[in-house]
Chains A and B, each alone.
Chain A
Amino acid sequence: MKLQAIWKIAFLTFFVCFSINQGLSTQKIIKNGFDEDYIKEFSKVMNWLIENSDENDIVLTEWTLGNQVIALANRKVIATSKVYPSEVEIVAERYKDISKFFFATSEASSLIIVNKYNISFIFLDKNFNYRTCRYINICNLRNYQKYLTSKNDLIPQLRSSLIVSRMLDKDKMDNYELVYNSKNFLIYKVAKKIIYSALNNTHSSGFSGYKELIEEISKKPVKEKYSEVYGGIIPHDIIHSYSIIASFFQKLNRSYKTIMILGPDHFHTSKEKISTSLYNWETPFGILKPDLAMIEKLNITDDEYAHIKEHSIRTLLPFIKYKYPNTKIVPIILRNDLTKNESNKLSENISKIIENDTLVLAGIDFSHIRPADANLSIKEDAKSLNVIRNFEKHKIDSLNIDSKPSLLTLLNIMENINATKTRLFRLTNSALINKNTNASVGYISLIFMRENVE
Chain B
Amino acid sequence: MKTKKKCSKIKNKDYFYILFYALLIIFLLIGIDLRTRNIPDEITINTVSFFYTRTKDLYYDGVYPIKDSKSLYPLTYKENYPPFLSLFTVGLYKIIELFNVNLHYFIVIFPVLMYIFLFFFGFFMLSQLYNKITGLFFIILLTIMPVVNKLTVKGYYTEEALGVLLILITIFSIIKSEENIYYIFLTITALTLLALTWQVFIFLLTGILLLLIIKINSKKHLIKYLITLILPIFLAHIISVFLIGIDYSPIDMFKESYLGITKSDTTNFKIALDRGKLRPMDFNSYVEEYSYFGVIFLIFGSFICLKNIKKPKYYVIFLFVIFSIIFLLKYVKFRFLAVVPILIISSIGLEGIYNRFKKYKKSFILITIIITLGLLIIANYNPKCEMRLTVPEEIQVNETYNVTIQVKNIGRDSLCDNNLLNKAHPFSGLHVEVENAKVINKKINSLSTLVQTMDTYSIDNIDWFEVKIDCLKKSAIANVTFTLKPYKLPVKINYRCWIPTKCNKKAPEDLRSEYRVSWRNEKCLHRMPTKGEFCNVKVYSGYKEKQDYSCFSEII
Interface residues of A (CB under 8 A from B): 4, 7-8, 11-12, 15-16, 18-20, 22-23, 25-27, 29-31, 33-34, 36, 38-40, 42-43, 58, 65-68, 70-72, 74-96, 117-118, 127, 129-132, 134-135, 139, 142-146, 148-149, 267-268, 271, 335-337
Q: Given the interface contacts A19-B140, A42-B45, does A85 sit within 8 Å of B149 by beta carbon?
A: no
Among the listed B38, B45, B81, B441, which residue makes an inter-chain contact with A82, where contact means beta carbons less than 8 Å apart? Answer: B81
Q: Are A268 and B441 in contact, CB atoms less than 8 angstroms apart? A: yes
With a cutoff of 8 Å between Cβ atoms, the chain A residues found around residue B45 in the complex are 38-39, 42, 65, 68
Among the listed B42, B141, B260, which residue makes an inter-chain contact with A39, where contact means beta carbons less than 8 Å apart? Answer: B42
Q: Closest A-chain residue to B34, C-beta based?
A: A27
Q: Are B48 and A67 in contact, CB atoms less than 8 angstroms apart? A: yes
Interchain Cβ contacts under 8 Å between A and B, 14 examples: A4-B358, A26-B146, A27-B37, A30-B153, A34-B39, A39-B42, A40-B40, A68-B49, A88-B266, A92-B272, A95-B271, A145-B421, A148-B420, A268-B440
12 extra A-B contacts, CB within 8 A, seeds A33-B150, A90-B75, A92-B267? A8-B355, A30-B153, A36-B38, A40-B42, A77-B73, A86-B259, A88-B266, A142-B452, A143-B453, A144-B450, A145-B450, A337-B483
Closest CB in chain B relative to A114 CB, distance in Å: 13
Closest CB in chain A relative to B506 CB, distance in Å: 14
Within 8 A of A (CB), among B476-499: 483
State whether the Cβ of B274 lies closer than 8 Å to any Cβ in chain A.
Answer: yes
In the A-B complex, the 8 residue pairs with the smallest Cβ-Cβ separation, listed nearest first, are A85-B259, A92-B268, A71-B49, A88-B272, A268-B441, A23-B144, A76-B73, A91-B272
Our count of residue pairs bridging A and B at CB distance below 8 angstroms stands at: 205
State whether the Cβ of B354 lies closer than 8 Å to any Cβ in chain A.
Answer: yes
Among the listed A23, A58, A118, A129, which residue makes an inter-chain contact with B143, where contact means beta carbons less than 8 Å apart? Answer: A23
B64-72, B164-172, B216-224: which lies at the A interface?
B64-72
With a cutoff of 8 Å between Cβ atoms, the chain A residues found around residue B145 in the complex are 22, 26
Q: Given the interface contacts A39-B44, A79-B71, A84-B80, does A26 sit within 8 Å of B268 by beta carbon?
A: no
Q: Are B274 and A95 in contact, CB atoms less than 8 angstroms apart? A: yes
Q: Closest B-chain residue to A135, C-beta based?
A: B271
Q: How far is the CA of A412 from the CA of B266 in the complex (A)?
A: 51
State whether the Cβ of B374 lies closer than 8 Å to any Cβ in chain A.
Answer: no
Q: Are B72 and A78 in contact, CB atoms less than 8 angstroms apart? A: yes
A-contact bits for B256-297, CB 8 A (1 contact / 0 none): 110110010011110111110000000000001001010000
| Most A CB within 10 A of own CB, among B72, B273, B420 | B72
State whether the Cβ of B444 lies closer than 8 Å to any Cβ in chain A.
Answer: yes
Q: Are A96 and B53 in contact, CB atoms less than 8 angstroms apart? A: no
With a cutoff of 8 Å between Cβ atoms, the chain B residues found around residue A127 in the complex are 419, 422
Q: Given the interface contacts A19-B144, A90-B72, does A144 sit within 8 Å of B272 by beta carbon?
A: no
Q: Given the interface contacts A33-B150, A83-B272, does A20 sit within 8 Å of B30 by beta carbon?
A: yes
Q: Are A16 and B443 in contact, CB atoms less than 8 angstroms apart? A: no
With a cutoff of 8 Å between Cβ atoms, the chain A residues found around residue B357 in the complex are 4, 7, 11
Q: Given the interface contacts A8-B354, A27-B37, does A83 sit within 8 Å of B149 by beta carbon?
A: no
Q: Are A72 and B443 in contact, CB atoms less than 8 angstroms apart? A: no
State whether the Cβ of B412 lies closer than 8 Å to any Cβ in chain A.
Answer: no
State whether the Cβ of B526 lies closer than 8 Å to any Cβ in chain A.
Answer: no
With a cutoff of 8 Å between Cβ atoms, the chain B residues found around residue A4 in the complex are 357-358
Q: How far is the CA of A87 from the CA of B443 in the complex (A)?
A: 39
A-contact bits for B129-150, CB 8 A (1 contact / 0 none): 0000000010011011110011
State whether the Cβ of B468 lies closer than 8 Å to any Cβ in chain A.
Answer: yes
State whether the Cβ of B522 lies closer than 8 Å to any Cβ in chain A.
Answer: no
With a cutoff of 8 Å between Cβ atoms, the chain A residues found around residue B420 in the complex are 130-131, 145, 148
Q: How far is the CA of A131 from the CA of B34 in the complex (A)?
A: 34
Closest CB in chain B relative to A87 CB, distance in Å: 7
With a cutoff of 8 Å between Cβ atoms, the chain A residues found around residue B454 in the complex are 146
With a cutoff of 8 Å between Cβ atoms, the chain B residues found around residue A94 in the complex are 72
Q: How far is the CA of A254 from the CA of B331 in the complex (A)?
A: 67
| Most B CB within 10 A of own CB, among A30, A80, A132, A135 | A30
Among the listed B140, B268, B400, B441, which residue makes an inter-chain contact with A88, where contact means beta carbons less than 8 Å apart? Answer: B268
Q: Are B444 and A82 in contact, CB atoms less than 8 angstroms apart? A: no
Q: Are B452 and A144 in contact, CB atoms less than 8 angstroms apart? A: yes
Q: Given the interface contacts A4-B358, A40-B40, A85-B269, does A142 sit within 8 Å of B71 by beta carbon?
A: no
Q: How far is the CA of A76 from the CA of B75 in the complex (A)?
A: 11
Q: Closest B-chain residue to A33, C-beta based?
A: B150
A-contact bits for B57-101, CB 8 A (1 contact / 0 none): 000000000000111111100001100000000000000000000
Q: Are A85 and B260 in contact, CB atoms less than 8 angstroms apart? A: yes
With a cutoff of 8 Å between Cβ atoms, the chain B residues found around residue A84 in the complex are 80, 256, 259
With a cutoff of 8 Å between Cβ atoms, the chain A residues found around residue B153 in the complex are 30
Among the listed B80, B137, B291, which residue makes an inter-chain contact with A22, where contact means beta carbons less than 8 Å apart? Answer: B291
Q: How far is the CA of A28 from the CA of B444 in the complex (A)?
A: 39
Q: Are A139 and B73 in contact, CB atoms less than 8 angstroms apart? A: no
Q: How far is the CA of A78 from the CA of B74 in the complex (A)?
A: 7
Q: Closest A-chain residue to B453, C-beta based?
A: A143
Q: How far is the CA of A13 from the CA of B280 in the complex (A)?
A: 36
Q: Given the interface contacts A117-B74, A143-B452, A148-B421, does A88 sit within 8 Å of B150 by beta carbon?
A: no
Closest CB in chain A relative to B161 CB, distance in Å: 15
Q: Given the interface contacts A85-B273, A88-B273, does A70 sit within 8 Å of B71 by beta carbon?
A: yes
Q: How far is the CA of A127 from the CA of B263 in the complex (A)?
A: 31
Q: Are B49 and A70 in contact, CB atoms less than 8 angstroms apart? A: yes
Q: Closest B-chain residue to A271, C-beta based?
A: B443
Within 8 A of A (CB), among B1-53: 23, 27, 30, 34-35, 37-40, 42-46, 48-50, 52-53
With a cutoff of 8 Å between Cβ atoms, the chain B residues found around residue A143 in the complex are 452-453
Q: Closest A-chain residue to B148, C-beta based?
A: A26
Q: How far is the CA of A87 from the CA of B353 in the complex (A)?
A: 49
| Most A CB within 10 A of own CB, among B73, B80, B440 | B73
Q: Given the interface contacts A16-B23, A38-B45, A76-B73, does A139 sit within 8 Å of B450 by beta carbon?
A: yes
Q: Are B421 and A149 in contact, CB atoms less than 8 angstroms apart? A: yes
Within 8 A of A (CB), among B239-262: 255-257, 259-260
Closest CB in chain A relative to B543 CB, distance in Å: 21
Q: How far is the CA of A376 from the CA of B269 in the complex (A)?
A: 61
Q: Are B40 and A39 in contact, CB atoms less than 8 angstroms apart? A: yes
Q: How far is the CA of A81 from the CA of B275 in the complex (A)?
A: 9
Q: Are A23 and B34 in contact, CB atoms less than 8 angstroms apart? A: yes
